Amino acid sequence: MSEDLGLIRELAERTKRANQVWSVEALDAFDKLEGMDPKLVKKALEFFGNRETAAKYFARNHGRYGEMNCYGALAAGERETIIEAIVALQHGIF
């Protein structure tokens, strides 16, 4: 069991580091998006209340966007779908 505990600690540390890297990348992408589409970023910030939460939402894959993240949806021309999703979330529709 102690070997398992050591492995679990290692896995905890590895996933913690991976999450930290992912968070930094998500924030960086969100900052770049703000330069390209400040109105969309403003809408997201108004709903989510802070940059980190909004950035993570945009970076996370969603079934709503065909298992893409918001950037993939934007690249596919689905900007309005993202706005509609944020409005739906504001009204408690998940």
Residue 88 is given by DSSP the state H
For residue 28, give the amino acid letter. Answer: D
Which residues are within 8 A (CB) of 81 and not within 5 positions of it... i.e. 6 or more apart?
64, 65, 73
Question: Which residue ranges make up each domain of the chain?
Answer: 2-90
Query: Angle CA(26)–CA(31)–CA(36) in degrees, nearest 5?
Result: 120
Provide long-range contacts, Cβ within 8 A and 24+ apart, for 13-22: 22/59
pLDDT digits (tens, 9 = 90+) for 30-69: 999 999 999 999 999 999 999 999 999 999 998 877 789 9
pLDDT at 28 over 80: yes
Q: Considering the entire predicted model, what is its pTM?
A: 0.84
- pLDDT score at 90: 86
